[in-house]
Structure formats: C-alpha cells, structure tokens
Amino acid sequence: MSSEQSAPPQMKKTLSLSGLTINAMALIAPGAFLWLTYELQAAQVDPSGVSTAPDIWTGLFLALILSFLTAASYSWLSRRYPDAGAGSSYYFAQRALLDRGSSNKTARNAKFIVGWLSHLYYWVYPGVMVGMMGFFITYILSTVGIVIAPLTEVAIVVAFAVLVGFIAFRGINGSTRTNLMINIAQIGMLIGVTGVALAYRFLNPDHVKFYFSNPVSVLIPSSASHMLFQATIAILVLVGFESVTALTGEAKNPKDVPKAIILSLVIQGAFCYLLEFYGMQAWINSKYTFGAAAASNSPIGDMIIQSINGLFGGGGFIIMLVVAAVVATAILGTTLSCMNTGVRVTYAISRDTEVPEPLGKLNPRYGTPAIGIWVMTAVSAGIGAFGVLSLTNLSAITYLSNFGTFLLYGVTCLIAVYALSRERRSILTKYIIPIAGLAANVVMMVTLIWLAVIGGGATQLAGFIAIAATAIWMAIGLGYFALNSRSKESRIFPFPGKETAEDKNRKYSMEEFRAN
C-alpha cells in the first residue's frame, strides 16, 4: 500500500482571504436577522413595563462596540497562534497559559472549560436558526392561506437541518460558494429594503406621523439602561465574526484569518446592520407603531407591504414574498456557517481526546468531520424542533445560545490578556481593549440573567430554562472531564518536553511565520 493511500485524511487548505471572509459574513446574516429579531426587539420592556423599542438602533450600536472589542482579541490571538488549526479559543487557552509558565494540568483544565463553553454556543446556535426557519416558513405559508400543524412544523425543521448537514458534509468549498451567492443576494436585498423604508419616510405618501420627529433622533439614545437591554438581543445578530478562527486549518495563508475577522464585522455589522436597522427605526409611524411590530410575526414584511403599496399603489405582497425568499437563503447560510464552525472546534477537541474520538474522524473524500456533522445535524434538528413549538421555547434556546456566546467571548478576552502581555505592543492593545471586552461581556451576561429573572411570565420561564440547561451542561462536562482525564492524556497540542519530530517541525514553521 502506498504512503499516499495509507495517509490519514486531512483538511484541505483551499480558503483565501475572500473565502474566509465570506464564511464569517454568512454567519453574521443581516438579511435574515432584521426579519427574525425585530419582533423580539420591539416587544422588549424594562422592569417597569416601559418599552425599550426606541433604543433598538442604539442598542445595536452598543453591541457592535462590544463585538469589535472581542473581535480585536480574536484577531490578535489568531495572529499570535497561526497553527491553531480548527481549535480556535480551545487552542488559544492552552497555548496562552503554557506560554506564561502554567502547568500542563492547569492549561488542560482551562482549555477544556473553553471547549465545553464553545459547544454551548456553536452547537445550540444552529438549532436556534433551525427553529427560526420553522417559524419563518410557517408565517410565509400562512400568508397564502396554508395552515401548518405542529407536527408538520417539526418535519420542516428536521428537513432543513438535514439539508444544511448535507451541504456541510460535502466540504467547505461547496459551503463557500453557497455562502457567496447568499451574501450577494442578501446585501442587495437589504439595501433595497432600506431604500424603500427611507423613501416612504421622506416622501410620506400616506401622510402619517413618524415616531422619530427627525432622522437624526434615531441615533440618540433615549435611556442608557434601555440601550443596554436592547444590546442583549442585538448581540445575537452580530455573533459569528470569530468563526473563521476554526477554519485556520483550511486557510491557504493563516495570516488572512485576523483580517477576515475584522472585515466580516465591518461589512456586515458596521455597514449592513446599522444601515438597515436605521431605515426600519426611521420608518416606524402612526400607522404602524412599535406595539404593532411587537404583535406581528413579521414587522419587516409588514413594512414592505405598507411602503410599496403607499409608494406605488400596490404590489407590496409580491415584493414581500421575494424578500422572504432571500431571507430564507440567508438563514440557510447562517446555519451552515455556524455548523461548519462548531464541528471543526469539536474535531480539534476530539483529536485532543477530550470528547469522544469518533467526532474527530475526517471523511477521506471531502476532508470534513463527517460523524461530527451528522451528530450536530441531529442535535440541531432536536433543538429546532423544541424551539419551533412555541415562542417561549424559541426564547429559551436563544437565551441558552447567548449565555454560551457571552461566556466564550469573555473567557477569550481574558486569554488575550494572558497571551499578549509579554508582546511588544502598547498598553491599549495588551490590556485596555481585551479587558474592556471581558468587562463588556460580563455586563451583558449579568444583564441577560437579570432580565430573565425579573421578566415575569413567558420571559422568566424561558430564562430559567436557559439557566438550568447551562448549569446541567457544565455539570455534564465537568463530570466527563473528571473521568476522562484520569485515563487519557491530551495529545494533539504538544506539551513542553514532549515534542515529537512532527511537533518540532510545526513549531519551527510557526516561528518562521512570525519572523516573516
């Protein structure tokens, strides 16, 4: 048997800077989330029952600042550790602690906690998107008079999860081409939709009174606390910029990964999201209030219908269906991108023997973690099926995903402080920005728990479900780790003094990379 035939399958290095950026942009899908989250944002109230909806745009802006603080930490870590492969924060945690002289045991404990938190984010988030797709399809069918039974909703969710799993199984190149087409379609759509909203605002064909007396007032926060409350929802629409750190093993040039992190957030967050949410806020009027948006399954669909009909005398419903089709593809891209990220992080952890080893096996033809993809497909289908049955259930899995996001982002910012403290760089980049990112994520986590606890009714129930699920997941992880660590030693990332020839070559390559 030839060495080529006997060699184990490897991930294929096919992604350029544009490919990496496209995959990250697909997870931050502005074309989908304005449709999916505006109802939740419009319905949010503070503890005294006052609506926080006027601060939707300013809350998004605050969440964007938090995201850039976290993105900076991810970018600097990926530049420092270009050999992270699919490990992302899991790898960063071990290397940062070992670089600072921590013991192997301490580094192993830290990286496992980070890896387990990664699952709380990356394995729940696709399920959230699958559940949202179920709600979305149900709404669209209801507009044409088709009533969907709960069992059929579950079937839709399962079918969608299998479709995403199949695309992910076929390899990252197919996913990248899919995401490229989706990104082009949704950015074109959101610019068009925003243009329609602003045209309605400035032409005012129905002679309505707008909530914001002038367009500039949209940008001014009405309450600092309301802005913070809105940011806890807005963060859901911005997460994903860090996903390319799990694609380092498939990048042609690891130096492109830090650039892709920032580029994806600038394009999707700072441009697309701020633009389209500004247009929607400026559009809210006496004919369609924040209260109406909170009670609707599709505020953006309502906006399109009212605006097109007002501007052109009809055709709003047809345009709404066209936009809905683009939104459906954007949800597909988001789910696909997160699934690709999640299974690759799990692949790295499995290769490190910290989760069951079959999850670390690659398909020889496509170079993808096939077993992990199909397991994640089943998990996403289950979470989505739970979420699609009620808005409370959907809120619960959304909270759960956000808990994982804030915990992982906060810990990664802390890792950045450890990793960067001995580099020759300014105090701003070594300490101030990563610590600010950590503090921001902690504040968001505390705010989310506080809102869940004091929310009352369905909001409180959803919050308690998410808190309980987080506690159970961490207990399972710690129990598994306690048993597994007694019988197995981490092996994929070299410990000092235990380097193989292959490890030394990899280390030399990394040092050569930094020198260049």
pLDDT in tens, 410-462: 999 999 998 888 788 889 988 999 999 999 899 888 887 887 777 666 667 77
pLDDT in tens, 178-210: 777 777 877 888 889 999 999 999 999 999 999
Q: Is residue 58 part of a domain?
A: yes
Q: Is residue 67 part of a domain?
A: yes
Q: Is residue 497 part of a domain?
A: no
pLDDT in tens, 115-167: 888 888 888 988 988 988 888 888 888 888 888 888 999 999 999 999 988 88
Query: Which one-letter amino acid corresponds to residue 161?
Result: A
Owning domain of residue 437: 16-489
> Which of the pair, 3 or 89, is modelled with greater confidence?
89
> Which of the pair, 405 or 244, is modelled with greater confidence?
405
Which of 118, 372, 88, 360 minimizes the C-alpha distance to 244?
A: 88
Q: At what angle do helices 274-283 and 30-43 cross, to 10 degrees?
A: 40
The CATH number of residue 322's host domain is 1.20.1740.10
Report the pLDDT value the prediction gives residue 201, as an integer from 0 to 100.
96
Q: Is residue 456 part of a domain?
A: yes
The DSSP secondary structure of 294-326, one letter per residue, reads: HH-S-HHHHHHHHHHHHHHSS-HHHHHHHHHHH
Helix (H) or strand (E) holding 263: helix 256-264
Q: For residues 257 and 244, is the Cβ–Cβ distance under 8 A?
A: yes
Report CA torsion sign: 155, 160, 163, 164.
Answer: negative
Q: For residues 299 and 38, is the Cβ–Cβ distance under 8 A?
A: yes
Q: Is residue 162 part of a domain?
A: yes
**Mean pLDDT in residue range 222-242:** 86
Q: For residues 24 and 240, is the Cβ–Cβ distance under 8 A?
A: yes
Report the pLDDT value the prediction gives residue 94, as an integer from 0 to 100.
85
Going from the C-alpha of 122 to that of each of 344, 405, 412, 420, the distances in angstroms are 10, 8, 15, 26
Report the pLDDT value the prediction gives residue 114, as an integer from 0 to 100.
87
DSSP state of 144: T
| Both structure tokens of 241 | 């910029």
Q: Is residue 5 part of a domain?
A: no
Report how many domains make up the chain: 1
**Mean pLDDT in residue range 253-270:** 87
Q: Is residue 506 part of a domain?
A: no
Going from the C-alpha of 8 to that of each of 12, 51, 96, 161, 245, the distances in angstroms are 12, 57, 29, 29, 23
pLDDT grade, residue 507 (50/70/90)? very low
- Answer whether residue 170 shows pLDDT above 90: no
Report the pLDDT value the prediction gives residue 489, as an integer from 0 to 100.
61
Q: For residues 193 and 411, is the Cβ–Cβ distance under 8 A?
A: no
Q: Is residue 477 part of a domain?
A: yes
Q: In sequence order, which ranges of 353-432 are alpha helices (DSSP H)?
A: 370-388, 391-420, 427
